[in-house]
Structure 1
């Protein structure tokens, strides 16, 4: 785990770098990297068993969940049965999460495995990010959808 200079956090922060998951007999080498001047609100949970990178100058609201894994697989031929208790299912791995520099992540946001949020983005309150968000975009909803992009030529946010 690496935490940059000037990091601040509200109460209830849960930084979770999972090295072993005894219930399923798994071992991991997580990389949780937080850049400089990151500010995190209250009751944020970041769960990592593979790789999560948060860039510099990121501002996060409260009650945010960021994860690079799930309890079990839910598609394809190797899907886990609902008859297996979630705590006994293997943790998925291999999908990173990256949040670029100068992003603002609003209250109650969920960021799921395999997502890259480009630099300069705003993720609105109560958004669930399930896919990549291009740099300099505003995304909202569940699942997230881009509603505005920054036009550097005219220096304005443009509706999509």
Structure 2
């Protein structure tokens, strides 16, 4: 774990073995308010610090590499053997053995056990 890694946990942030973290990473299992377009949504007229917390555990698997400045949002699971690119915003779960980059994050490569290589994915994966 490098410098300036900020982990915020109200319920649970689970980090596996052999995880490599660059600097300036933010990992959180919580957020001030609800913004999903439901009846639970937080009113903009309520100060952010007074809004109900969204709390959802985060799980990071074994042998994961998280690049510089990545943000891991509540409720995300990152599978074993993943690579998360620098400055990615991980707002959805990533299956094992995937390389994911971007804001919001997208899987761009998967490890192929057949070829023993990282292979490109279609943009929708």
User: In the TM superposition, what is the alpha-carbon distance from 1:128 to its structure 2 partner?
Assistant: 0.3
Find the counterpart in structure 1 of residue 82 from structure 2: 121
2: distance between equivalents of 1:119 and 1:138?
11
Give SS of 1:147's match.
strand
Runs of 5+ unmatched residues, structure 1:
1-39
1: distance between equivalents of 2:43 and 2:52?
12
TM-score with structure 2 setting the length: 0.93
User: In the TM superposition, what is the alpha-carbon distance from 1:101 to its structure 2 partner?
Assistant: 0.1
**What is the number of residues matched between the two proteins?**
120
Q: Say whether residues 1:142 and 2:103 are aligned partners.
A: yes
2: distance between equivalents of 1:154 and 1:73?
43
Find the counterpart in structure 1 of residue 31 from structure 2: 70
Runs of 5+ unmatched residues, structure 2:
none
1:1-160 → structure 2 map (5 Å cutoff): 40-75=1-36, 76-93=38-55, 95-160=56-121
Find the counterpart in structure 2 of residue 9 from structure 1: none
2: distance between equivalents of 1:48 and 1:135?
23
1: distance between equivalents of 2:94 and 2:64?
11
2: distance between equivalents of 1:65 and 1:78?
25
User: In the TM superposition, what is the alpha-carbon distance from 1:41 to its structure 2 partner?
Assistant: 1.1
User: In the TM superposition, what is the alpha-carbon distance from 1:90 to its structure 2 partner?
Assistant: 2.0
TM-score with structure 1 setting the length: 0.73
Greater relative contact order (Cα < 8 A, sep 6+): 2
